[in-house]
Amino acid sequence: MTFSILQLTFDIPNVVTLKHKCLSLVVEKFCGFKTKLMSRYVFGSKKNENSLLKYTWIDEDTLRRFLELWTFEG
Q: In the chain, what's the furthest Cα-to-Cα distance?
A: 46
Find the range with the poorest average confidence among 4-13, 18-27, 32-41.
4-13
Question: Residue 28's pLDDT band (boundaries 50, 70, 90)?
Answer: very high
Is the per-residue pLDDT at 70 higher than 70?
yes
| pLDDT tens, position by position, 31-59 | 998 898 888 888 888 888 888 888 888 88
Answer for the pair 57, 3: CB distance below 8 angstroms, yes or no: yes
C-alpha–C-alpha distance, residues 73 and 50, integer Å: 21
